[in-house]
Amino acid sequence: MNTEYRSQKSEVRSQKRWCIILLFCILYSVFYVLLFSSDALAIKKTKGEIDVAKRCILCHSQLSPGIVNDWEKSNHAKAQVTCIDCHQADTTDADARKHEGEVISAIVSPKDCSRCHPKQVMEFNESMHSKAVSFIKNPETPESSSGSGQVLEGDRAGDDTLAYKIEGKAAAVMGCEKCHGSVIKVKTRSERSESNGIFDKDTWPNNGIGRVNPDGSKGSCTACHTRHLFSITEARTPEACGTCHMGPDHPQYEIYMESKHGVIYSSEKHKWNMEVAPSVWDTKYFRAPTCATCHMSGIGMLEPSHNVSERLSWELKWPLSEKRKDWKNKRERMQMVCLSCHSKNWVEGYYQQFDNVISLYNEEYYKPIKKEMDELYKLGYLTKDKFDEDLEFKFFEYWHHEGRRARMGASMMGPDYTQWHGFYELARGRVELKRMINEIRERKDKGK
């Protein structure tokens, strides 16, 4: 009975499947007529181009319906920007590949987007986001010990033993590089068979913020507005940033969710209209800022920008916080955001409290311990290698975890991160570091 029931069921299912396919085809014909016949189209297309576009959509609606569904709902579809407008490539492009009579690339880089969105790409290029790969590769950055973190986990430059290549890379490929970006490698010609433009699988898929693309451009726009919807609503949510901006060393997402701004967002986001075009999105549509509002959006007289670095006066992520170049103008820009909802006295008071936290950390917590660490290295009491001694781990966490939490908590109104995850742990850490430093000194002074 069971088998009979099952075969009946599968028959019904297969009939159903045919009905669905038929319905699909009808809907698609209607869809094409609507899509390609309207006169109010953003992008004009020749008949040949329309035919190509149709072929991509038709085949991929069977093959990867998720992609086509997303695209259909996007403003790109409404503006007649189709698959080939983004995926087209020149035969000379490093990642070009022949595909169904066209030359395409799977990667649509910021350079490709810049054909239609030059302003956003230019601003993005000016930001630290576009430089996020060089920092994890460069051991000379102010945060060199974190760069060594990658070495620590196995990615030893120059070490060609098989174990390191596989295990070491694995951690960085799925960790650091998912946030910072990979350097995408296209398989060399000789390795390519009929399928050109195939990427080295250790380097792609990757949508890290500063990814180095085969065409030389930097970044991945889908890091914030995921394909194929490319929605501004999504990019405006704190969750879009939270993929990368979270955790023990840069908990901006957690800090934000703790702040009153985040609380207001959580309690009434369903009532906010987050789809409004950037040129008009303002306090009429939201009562509290999200990450994007403070760091990117236009508000009041301030213009929107994809340069997330242009409103920051301090370097908070560095071991020692320093003021940035041109910091006064940058601070003024951020203050223009606050002033849409707060008074001048409120904002100035807040910045004074914030600045005081930074100098407390710099002067009382970082500089004295750093001085003692430098002395130990000078005396040869610590080896030059990073992360081969307990003390080095402790010192790293002191500024990279606790020290950052204290500073970042204060910068974004998260009192618990400033206090209990921040200064309290710094105070404890300082006692412990001093004890460890003294122990090493005593031991080494005695020649042990």
By CB under 6 A, the residues from 97 to 156 that bind ligand HEC are 99-100, 102, 104, 106-108, 110, 112-113, 115-117, 120-121, 124, 128-129, 131-132, 135-136, 141-143, 146-147, 149-150
Q: How many residues bind ligand HEC (CB under 6 A)?
A: 129
Q: Which of 83, 56, 111, 92 is nearest to 196 (CA)?
A: 92
Whether the Cβ atoms of residue 68 and residue 60 lie closer than 8 Å to each other: yes
Q: How far from 217 is each of 126, 130, 212, 395, CA to CA, in Å?
A: 12, 9, 6, 36
Q: Which of residues 4-43 bind ligand HEC (CB under 6 A)?
A: 42-43
Residue 32 exposure: Cα atoms within 13 Å on the Cβ side: 16
Closest to ligand HEC by CB, 360 or 413 = 413
Residues 253 to 292 in contact with ligand HEC, rule: CB under 6 A: 253, 256, 260-261, 264, 277-279, 281, 283, 286-292
Does the footprint of ligand HEC cover residue 221 (CB under 6 A)?
A: yes
| Long-range Cβ contact pairs of 171-174 (< 8 A, separation 24 or more) | 172/136, 173/202, 173/203
Query: Nearest 5°: CA angle at 400, between 397 and 403?
Result: 95
Among positions 63, 162, 163, 431, the unique one binding ligand HEC when judged by CB under 6 A: 63
Contact call for residues 195 and 207 (beta carbons, < 8 A): no
CA neighbor of 255 nearest in space, from 443, 406, 154, 448: 406
Measure the CA angle with vertex 284, ends 282 and 286; round to 5°. Answer: 75
Q: How far is the CB of 246 from ligand HEC (least distance, A)?
A: 6
Residue 320 lies near ligand HEC (rule: CB under 6 A): no
With the CA atoms of 353, 356, 362 and 364 taken in that order, what torsion angle do they form, in degrees rounded to the nearest 10? -120
Task: Write the single-letter amino acid at 108.
Answer: V
Considering the complex, state which of residue 108 and residue 376 has its C-beta at the smaller distance from ligand HEC.
108
Please tell me whether residue 68 binds ligand HEC under the rule CB under 6 A. yes
Q: Which of 239, 244, 220, 238 is nearest to 230 (CA)?
A: 220
Query: Which residues, numbered 401-420, are part of the site for ligand HEC (CB under 6 A)?
Result: 411-413
Write down the least CB distance from residue 397 to ligand HEC, Å.
14
Q: Which is nearer to ligand HEC, 300 or 368 (CB)?
A: 300
For the chain, the straight-line distance linking the first and the last C-alpha, in angstroms and rounded, comes to 82
Among 31, 94, 202, 298, binds ligand HEC (CB under 6 A): 298
Q: Which residue is listed with tokens 């990615």? A: 155
Please pick, from the candidates 89, 186, 250, 366, the single residue that binds ligand HEC as defined by CB under 6 A.
250
Under rule CB under 6 A, residue 223 binds ligand HEC? yes
Q: Does 308 bind ligand HEC (CB under 6 A)?
A: yes
Residue 245 sits in the site that holds ligand HEC (CB under 6 A): yes
Considering the complex, state which of residue 204 and residue 440 has its C-beta at the smaller distance from ligand HEC. Answer: 204
Segment contacting ligand HEC by CB under 6 A, of 27-35, 234-242, 363-371, 431-439: 234-242
Q: Which of 186, 240, 369, 433 binds ligand HEC (CB under 6 A)?
A: 240
Give the shortest CB-182-to-ligand HEC separation in angstroms.
Answer: 10
> Contact between 168 and ligand HEC (CB under 6 A)?
no
- Binding segment for ligand HEC (CB under 6 A), chosen from 17-25, 186-194, 295-303, 438-446, is 295-303
- Positive/negative CA dihedral, 353, 399, 316, 365: positive
